[in-house]
Every structure is written in structure tokens, then in C-alpha cells.
Structure 1
Amino acid sequence: MKYFLLVICFLFISVKTFSQQFSQYNTGTLFDSFENPAQAVFIPDTSNKIAFNFFIPNFNSNLYVTGNAQVPLKSRAFTGRYLNTGLTIGENRFSRANANANIYLIMFKVFNSLDGNQEVGVSVQTRAEGRGLFTDETLLLLNGSNGFTNNDYSNIFNNSYTAQSYHQISVTYREKISKKFALGIKLSGLLGIQYQQLRIDQSHITFNRANDAADITLQGRYRINYTSGDFDKHDLLPSFKSPGAAISIGTALRTRDNFNLQLNVKDLGFIHWNKRSRVSDFNTMRTAPDISTARREDNLYATTYQIIRSADEIQSFVTPTNGIIELSANKLYWLDYDKRLRYSPTFILQKEVFYDGYTAALVNPIQYNNLVGTLTASYNNYGIFNAGLQFMVKSPNVEFYIGSDRIMQSASFLGAARKSDSQINKNAAYSGADFFLGFSLKFGRLIEHPLNSSYMPLGDRPGFITRIWNGIFHPGRDDGD
């Protein structure tokens, strides 16, 4: 945490590589099957029975910033100076930052039934999730006090941010209960890495211009699970200091008119941060010196840090993961007589469980033989419209994909990072970046139905979930049939 504002806004740019990108929906990739537990990854009589990523990371990372902060933040991050374009005082304007990262280090799944009913898998991944809300005046102050005409201001620094990262070790089980219905579950153990939360409920500043100083008063809460300055690369290794658990449940239903419907409750869980964590309910005033000099950022950060850590108490606490609920509908259309060209759109509605975010998305993949091109469009309740592109090579036993669900913003952000003045000065609906990449292979024996099998099967019983299902809804049915 180097600068107060950059912590809030760009904390996640360099975080280790959350969230599933919409472009992967109904692709049948190994990544898709772990993110949506009811999704099948194997095709009987076509693919082999073991899928693995061979320790090649499959990941998605994204970031966006909205509001008047875009130009000042990009100019500060990429050129070292602030451009105060569009910043206001006293108008209650704020900017929003959101970032997520998700990297699967291990994905391993096995087909476990001759009739295509069961898939079992394990995965190891690292996730990070964060969000922040901050005022125009916060950025303006970091460039000095000249923009403030009055000597006293109240509640212009009521900022907040939350960020947490953790390892996730999961087991998944999918079963096709009937020809039309499948159910999947993903059970996860969580190992917390980092957590920080800052909430400023009230704030006041008085400028002492004669002494080039400012008296800052803040009231709110700060929580952190580690000692600042002591965190190093060894703390990134999995440990049981801050354990947790999560669950994902997915259902898939094929209707009579051949629509594929999915309902997913994903990554609903918690982390218990260790007893050496700190909680500070602060309400304190400190004086920041030399707020017009080249050291103003360091001085403002040091003063703010003293305030928010002024009431530290050592205690554990529990936080939720960013669980989401998703509902999707998909249908396949063949575009040619030989069934080599197909279009398979998916409409998705997503709602965050513990936050106010919700998103609608339309995924438009067109596949010719083993090549897939996907155009994705989404819109959320913050007024952000995204358009993305994905390229995929998808055969029964090999898959590779690359893309971005924010293609234009990612290109603009890359231009700003290369110090393009036109991109740095561009104050669009939002600034952001998104990138995902994945690969996996299937190997082992070919999955074959009994009538096509090149070897003699020993016989199968229905899966565990099917036996429970039949016991409830079809009493008296022979589970062996």
C-alpha cells in the first residue's frame, strides 16, 4: 500500500491472476465445467475419458474504473503526474473501481460411467476479488491544496474499498440424472492469503495554508489480516492460518423445444481470518504537513495510515466470498446442410449475492469444424456496456482459447500503459482491461457406449445422486436398470 488512492484504485492491476468470463459459457471446456458444475466436458463415443490442463494455468483477470478518476489515475500511473481533468468539489461525485482475478493451476477430471452419467474432478486455483468507491476530492487533494477554495470541508473523503485473495482447492461431481436433467456440485476448501477493508463514514479537513498543512479527521472501520510491511512472497504459499469453505451448485435442463437452461449458485462461502488480524474502529484527527510539496502523497498517506490504525485491536473476523447466482438459456442452430457451421447463442443473467451488482450478457459463438469465434456483449447496473471477442480451437480432445470480454477498453488501456496521450486523456464511460487464456487435453481410453465398445464392460450402477433421486421420485424402481 504505497499511496492511499492508488491502493483503492489500482491495488489489483498487479495481483496474481477471478471470475468466469461469459465467453466460456456452454463451450464444454474443462474451465467451463469447473466454473459451471452441471456443464459436461466429455462426449461419449467421441472424446477420451481423462481431461487435464497439465499444469498450464487457465486464467481470467479483469479491471475497470468509472467516473472522473479515469484520466487522473491513468496519468499518475503511467506518466507520474496528475491531470485533474473533470474533477469536482462539493458535487458528491465518486468513481468506482472493481477488479477480479482467477487462475486455475490444476484442473483434472475423469469420466466415470460408461453411459455418460458421472464426471469427477479436482482443481487448485488462486483467486482475488476487490472493489472500491472514492470521491473526486480524494484525487484532487493528492495533487495539492490549490484546487480547494475554502478552508473547511466535511464528508468529501468518504471512501471505501475491500480486497481479498485466497487459494481454493475443490472437488467436483457431475451426474446426468435423466436425458433432460443434470446436476453438479463443487465443494471447496479455502486458504486465505490477504484481506483489507476500509470504510470511511465521516470525514473533515481544515487547511492551514500559512503552514502548508491540513488537519484531517476520519471516522470509520479498517480491517486487515496481516502486518503491513511484513508480508512477503512466502505468505503467498498455501497455509491453514485463515481457513474457509465454499460451495457451487449447478443444474442443467434441456427443454422439449431444445433450449438448454442452467441455474448456478457459485462460490458461496466464507473465510475465517486468523486471530492475529487487526480491526480498527477509528475516529481520530491528525495533521498532514507539506501538502503542496513533492512529498505530499507520502505525507497524506502517512497521516491517513496513522488515523485508520489508531484504534487497532487484535482479533479474528469472518468475511464472505463474492458468491453469485446465474441463470442462462442456450440454443443450437445449424447454419448449413452438412452441419459443419453452427451458431449457439447464450443469454445470461447474473446477480452478486452480497453486493448490489447484476449483469445481463449475450454470448454469440459461431463454430466451423474445430474453430470457434465468439462475440460477447454485456451490460450491468452501473451503466457499463462491454463487448468482447474470443478465439477458440475446440476438438473432442484438445482445447485452446484466448480473448477478452472488454476488447476495446483493453486496447485503450494498453495504449495508456504505453504512454499514449490520446488514451491517457480519454475519459470514456469507463477504463478497464480484461484478458483470459486457457488450454487442456483429454487422454486415456475412448469413452464408448456398451453397444459400440471395443472391450467388455463389467456393468454399471446408476450414480449416487440418481439413486437418491429415484428413491424419492420413483420408489420401487430397480437401481440396476
Structure 2
Amino acid sequence: MKKLILLIALLTTFYFAEAQQYSLFGTKTMFDAFENPSQKSFTLDSSRKFSSNFFLPNFGINAANRGEADNVIRKLAQEGIINTQDLPLGTGSINHLYQNSNIYVATFRMFLSYKYQKELGFAWQIRSDAQIDYTNESLAIFDSYRRFPVNTPFRGLFNSSGYQQTYHQFSVTYRENYNKRLAFGVKASLLSGILYNKIDITDSYLYNNSLTNTLDIGLASTYNSNYLYGNEITKRTFLPFKNPGLSMSFSTNYTTKKGLFLMANVKDLGFIWWRKNAQNSIINTTKRINTAPGQNNIDDEITDIFQSAQEQKKFVAPINAKADIYISKAYGFYKPALIVSKNLFYKGGEVALVNTLTYKNFSGSVAPLYNFNNIFMVGLQGKYQSPNFEIFMGTDNFLASAYTAKGIITNDGNTGYATSGNGASFYMGVGIKFGNVVNHPQFSDTMPGINDNGGESFFKRLFSVFSRK
């Protein structure tokens, strides 16, 4: 159990060493267009026809923890050690830790047609999501079972649950204007799972018997994974096309006559079929471990509880689909925006208020954000964006990220900010456009789609099935 919970904690805690880079919503950057498929990213008379990141960095990473174990997780992340001596036991407290990352390895996007403002894009992403709800005792046992009082039975101390999944996403996006105010977009993706862990400990028991020098551990749990004990995680683990899956995203936006911009998304509605080394463990057992002096096999004995219940079994798991609503309006150089995002299959969600100030091609954003895990964050972003070049950098959790970075640099696990929680966040990206300029028809005879005989609206044809004939 120790190694299992530690595995999940390490995957969640150190993936940066659940926000969505909200300050980039509504910016018409390449990132915005891939994440919100109804958004356009080309500007007539200014932009060139193609865009790509040319394998340059384009990624976002996030991790946060909230609960009585904040100081323990902080020292684990910043010093690499576990020290639970000051962590209270027996309080029934539940800690919440979550993580996500979104790495655009390669992107390519093209302007298809002047009529309906059609755009087509291709992307290769590597994504990761994780969330775990865990007790103080689940961390304390990493330190030593001797932290627990002797000759006293304990039940429910290790009842925890959580998941972690990492996968490739190969996607095609398409968007077009339905009319001058309304637009639609879709994103179809082929998925390939890399790593998956999900645990649900519903009952647990611990009895440290000093008279017989034994440790009784009982566990009722389910555990799904594609990682077998004894196998190492190597570069081959990250090769695609082992665990297939599919997902779809749907997006629409509408601009009112008074300039209010409304956007709604259903993102990454899909699943992965985990079949390579997939296992399902159903555990309901009690084991007695000899703790007499000279015995050093306690960790192996605990791990054996899971190994003995290991059963090869394929399974299907949903990815972390989300529903978003975005509202904004520009007032000269200032644009406020409200974003509400909710996970559909897993717990969690966020509300963000993005405040953006723009001067020529430069902009800066401040984004207070509340995560439904009772985590409050403040994000900062800087961006330079011209019609054919964009670069941005930011964080969704400025204070916690600054203190975490300082603690890692100084190797001081006591560095932290009490009210910001414990975590880190950073993202950056580059986009470059190239090719012919997408001019209006009166300025160019090479305008894409201007002489298209088949340039009808895809969504008009799609919605025509609901119209009266």
C-alpha cells in the first residue's frame, strides 16, 4: 500500500517538476483556436495562410495541494524528503491534490476559405490529468509505521481515492462562421494511452502489536492500472498506439450587436481502451507482517497485497471531459472576461475572472481563479501578438509558483505561502504564420475559397436536416 499510494502521489506531485490557461481564451492565438475549436486565428489582410509552432515550446503544467498535509507535500516537492512528524493523525482530515499538463508537441493550421472563414488544424498533444483525495495517515505511513500507537486497532485510516492518466492526443480541428455573428467548430481526436492508475480504498485496518512484533494490515480496495509491478517505466512506455481511444470536442461562439462575446464548449468527450498490460485488482484481505528487529521486508510485504490480487483485464476509462462557458467584452484597451469550467466525469471545476490590458501588440492579464477543491489562485500572463507571430508566458498560480520555485532553488522545504496553498503553475507558447497573406478578394486574386464551387457551409448543410422542406 505504501508504494502504491506513493506512486500516485509522485505522479501527481512531480509532474510539474487544474487550470486551463484561461488568460489565453478569447485571444485568437493558435492555442486558443485549438483549445476552443470555434475560435478563429487568422486575420484578413494581415495574417499569412499557414501557422505552426515548428516544435517550439507550447505547453502548460499545473499542480496544487490543499489540506493539513501542505507542509509535508511542500518538503517532498522542494527537498525530496518525507517528514510527517508534525502531521496530526486521527483527525479524519482529507487532503486534495490535483495536477494537469497539456503539451502541444506539434501544430499546423491553415486558412481554407474567405467565405465562411473556414480554418483547418492538426495537432499532436501529450496530456495528463490527476486528482487524489488522501488522508494524513496515508502520508504518515511513508515515514514509519511506528508513528502509529501500539496495541490499538485503527480502521479507515487509509481510505483514499484518486486517479492519474497520461495519453497522446492526435487531433483535427475545423471551424467556420455560420453567419456574421455565429460560428461553430469541432475537434476530433485519436487518443493513445500512456499511463493509467486509479485506486479506491473503501476500508482499511491497522494494528501494531508490540507484544508479538507484528503489524496487521487489512484492505478493501479496487485498483486499475496499465502498469505492472516489476516493470520499469522507460522511453518505450511513451510510444503511441498501444491503448487506443477517441474523443470529440464541440464549440460555438456568438457576438452580439453590442460587442458581447459568448462562447460555449464541450471538450474532450471520449474514452481510452486500456489493453496493454492492463490490470484490475479487487482486494479484500488482511495480512500479518513480522516487524521483529532485523526484519526489513515490510515494504515488500505490503506491496505483495496488491501483487497477489493482480489480474490481467482490459478496461475502458473516460478522459477528463469539460464544459466551458466564456463571456467577454472589450472596453477600449481593457477587456474583462468571465469563465466557468466544470469537469463532466471527474470531480472538480473552476471559475476565473480574466482582466486584460492591451497596448499595441502587447498585453498583460491578471486572473483571479477559484478551484472547486477550495483552492484560490491568482494568475498572471504577458503576451506579444502580431498578425503573424505570437509568444506568451504566464502562470495560473503566481504566489504558490514563486514560493515553490524559491524553495526548490534554495532546497528549503519551509518556503511557502500559507494562504496560497501548495503548488506550481507555468505555461508558455510560440506560434508563427507563413505563406501568402489572406487578403480580401478585392486585394488579391489568390484568396483561398473565393472561386470555390464547393465552398458551401459544412454546418449549414449539417443543420439543414432540421429545417422544413
Fold match by TM threshold 0.5: yes
Residues 22 and 455 from structure 1, CA distance in 2 versus in 1: closer, same or farther, beyond 3 angstroms? closer
Match of 1:232 in 2: 234
Cα displacement string for residues 314-359 of structure 1 (whole angstroms, at most 9, x for unaligned residues): 110000000000011011111xxxxxxx112210011100123121
Is the contact between residue 222 and residue 283 of structure 2 (CA under 8 Å) also seen in structure 1? yes
Corresponding letter in the other structure for 2:406: G
Partner SS for 1:312: coil
**Aligned counterparts, 1:266-345, within 5 A:** 266-274=267-275, 276-290=277-291, 301-334=299-332, 342-345=333-336
Match of 2:397 in 1: 406
Residues 360 and 112 from structure 1, CA distance in 2 versus in 1: closer, same or farther, beyond 3 angstroms? same
Is the contact between residue 378 and residue 396 of structure 2 (CA under 8 Å) also seen in structure 1? yes
Match of 1:110 in 2: 110
Is the contact between residue 360 and residue 379 of structure 1 (CA under 8 Å) also seen in structure 2? yes
Give the deviation of 1:291 after TM superposition.
Answer: 9.4
Match of 1:465 in 2: 459
Match of 1:337 in 2: none
Residues 415 and 272 from structure 1, CA distance in 2 versus in 1: closer, same or farther, beyond 3 angstroms? same
Matched, 1:252 2:245: no
Partner SS for 1:250: strand
Residues 57 and 78 from structure 1, CA distance in 2 versus in 1: closer, same or farther, beyond 3 angstroms? closer
CA distance in 1: counterparts of 2:430 and 2:227, whole angstroms: 35
Match of 1:395 among 381, 386, 403: 386
Partner SS for 1:193: strand
Partner SS for 2:237: helix
CA distance in 2: counterparts of 1:308 and 1:426, whole angstroms: 37
Cα displacement string for residues 114-160 of structure 1 (whole angstroms, at most 9, x for unaligned residues): 23520011111111111111111122233234543352100111122
CA distance in 2: counterparts of 1:109 and 1:281, whole angstroms: 46
Deviates more, 1:215-224 or 1:271-280: 271-280
CA distance in 2: counterparts of 1:398 and 1:362, whole angstroms: 26
Deviates more, 1:463-472 or 1:355-364: 463-472
**Aligned counterparts, 1:444-455, within 5 A:** 444-453=435-444, 455=446
CA distance in 2: counterparts of 1:17 and 1:466, whole angstroms: 47
Deviates more, 1:318-327 or 1:444-453: 444-453
Give the deviation of 1:76 after TM superposition.
Answer: 3.8
Residues 94 and 16 from structure 1, CA distance in 2 versus in 1: closer, same or farther, beyond 3 angstroms? closer
Is the contact between residue 291 and residue 300 of structure 1 (CA under 8 Å) also seen in structure 2? no
Cα displacement string for residues 273-330 of structure 1 (whole angstroms, at most 9, x for unaligned residues): 116411110112223455999x98xx55433321123222211000000000001101
Residues 428 and 474 from structure 1, CA distance in 2 versus in 1: closer, same or farther, beyond 3 angstroms? same
**Aligned counterparts, 1:49-448, within 5 A:** 49-79=49-79, 81-84=81-84, 87-149=87-149, 151-210=152-211, 212-230=213-231, 231-239=233-241, 241-274=242-275, 276-290=277-291, 301-334=299-332, 342-419=333-410, 421=412, 423-424=414-415, 427-428=418-419, 430-448=421-439
Partner SS for 2:285: strand
CA distance in 2: counterparts of 1:2 and 1:283, whole angstroms: 17
Partner SS for 1:8: helix
Is the contact between residue 144 and residue 292 of structure 1 (CA under 8 Å) also seen in structure 2? no
Partner SS for 1:121: strand
Give the deviation of 1:467 after TM superposition.
Answer: 3.4
CA distance in 1: counterparts of 2:14 and 2:79, whole angstroms: 17
Q: TM-score, normalised by structure 2?
A: 0.92
CA distance in 1: counterparts of 2:208 and 2:468, whole angstroms: 76
Cα displacement string for residues 149-185 of structure 1 (whole angstroms, at most 9, x for unaligned residues): 3521001111222111111101010010100100000
Residues 80 and 467 from structure 1, CA distance in 2 versus in 1: closer, same or farther, beyond 3 angstroms? closer
Is the contact between residue 184 and residue 250 of structure 1 (CA under 8 Å) also seen in structure 2? yes
Is the contact between residue 19 and residue 102 of structure 1 (CA under 8 Å) also seen in structure 2? no
Corresponding letter in the other structure for 1:400: I
Is the contact between residue 17 and residue 103 of structure 1 (CA under 8 Å) also seen in structure 2? no
Match of 2:32 in 1: 32
Give the CA RMSD over aligned residues: 2.5
Deviates more, 1:201-210 or 1:137-146: 137-146
**Aligned counterparts, 1:4-15, within 5 A:** 4-15=4-15
Give the deviation of 1:238 after TM superposition.
Answer: 1.1
Is the contact between residue 19 and residue 101 of structure 1 (CA under 8 Å) also seen in structure 2? no
Residues 86 and 466 from structure 1, CA distance in 2 versus in 1: closer, same or farther, beyond 3 angstroms? farther
Cα displacement string for residues 461-480 of structure 1 (whole angstroms, at most 9, x for unaligned residues): 332223344675586xxxxx
Displaced runs of 4+ in structure 1, greater than 6 A?
16-19
Give the deviation of 1:197 after TM superposition.
Answer: 1.2
Is the contact between residue 134 and residue 159 of structure 1 (CA under 8 Å) also seen in structure 2? yes
Corresponding letter in the other structure for 2:206: I
Cα displacement string for residues 209-253 of structure 1 (whole angstroms, at most 9, x for unaligned residues): 2465421111111111132332321121112x2110000000001
Partner SS for 1:344: strand
Is the contact between residue 275 and residue 314 of structure 1 (CA under 8 Å) also seen in structure 2? no
Residues 421 and 149 from structure 1, CA distance in 2 versus in 1: closer, same or farther, beyond 3 angstroms? same
For structure 2, the residue ranges without an aligned partner over 5 or more in a row are none
Corresponding letter in the other structure for 1:66: R
CA distance in 2: counterparts of 1:357 and 1:18, whole angstroms: 8
Partner SS for 1:309: helix
Corresponding letter in the other structure for 2:103: I
Is the contact between residue 17 and residue 101 of structure 1 (CA under 8 Å) also seen in structure 2? no
CA distance in 2: counterparts of 1:232 and 1:420, whole angstroms: 28
